[in-house]
Structure 1
Amino acid sequence: MVDRISKDEVLHIAKLIKVDVSGQEEAFSEILTDTLDYVVTLNELDTHNIDETYQVTGRKNVFQKENVSATLSAEEALSNASKRVGDLFGAEAVFDR
């Protein structure tokens, strides 16, 4: 079993990972302690005869073959555009400046 993570350690970890834990130090102390206990338990397991698992879905290749085909010209694509900016579709601004 891992020693309980102290409030100071929780605050130090929170500072390192830039997370605000104010008012929740005790809860995080318990969560971190439980997590480290679990890691210790996993480290104690005998895995000598266990094959490494790096892929569990059985899929070999999920890529599709790229099919290049003719596309619309810029003029055809923009023919029904309500607003154009050169050879681009125009849109109203969504951010305030």
Structure 2
Amino acid sequence: MEKKLIDIEQVKKVAKLTGLDISGQEERFVELFNETLNYVEILGELNTEEVGATYHVTGLNNVFQKKEDPANTLSAEETLKNAKDSINNLFITKAVFER
């Protein structure tokens, strides 16, 4: 039997923090969160002492950048020319997070 690691109040709090409307689906999200957390808990029980750290499993680097074609990029000026607002070669946007 799976342990209940999260309750409906915690689901409502997560929904509020993420700005998601889950009205009428709270119980389903409680189930989904608990399934996920129980699975992660099982993974935490695995003995990984002899498994080396893996940061990048494919061995590929910069697959989207062709060294033979460096001219196919935009300068900072070109990139920002249609920006509504910028400062120090960076885009300025509205705040994403509330305080």
TM-score scaled to structure 2, two decimals?
Answer: 0.58
Give me the whole-angstrom Cα distance separating, in 2, the residues matched to 1:46 and 1:3. Answer: 24
Quote the RMSD (CA, aligned, Å): 2.2
1:3 Cα deviation (Å)? Answer: 2.2
Unaligned stretches of 5+ in structure 2?
72-99
How many matched pairs?
69
Give me the whole-angstrom Cα distance separating, in 2, the residues matched to 1:55 and 1:12. Answer: 34
Structure 1 pair 11/66, CA: closer, same or farther in 2 (3 Å)?
same
Give me the whole-angstrom Cα distance separating, in 2, the residues matched to 1:68 and 1:21. Answer: 46
Query: Which is further off, 1-10 or 42-51?
Result: 1-10
TM-score scaled to structure 1, two decimals?
Answer: 0.59
Give me the whole-angstrom Cα distance separating, in 1, the residues matched to 2:70 and 2:8. Answer: 59
Structure 1 pair 46/64, CA: closer, same or farther in 2 (3 Å)?
same
Give me the whole-angstrom Cα distance separating, in 1, the residues matched to 2:39 and 2:17. Answer: 22
Q: What's the counterpart of residue 21 of structure 1?
A: 22
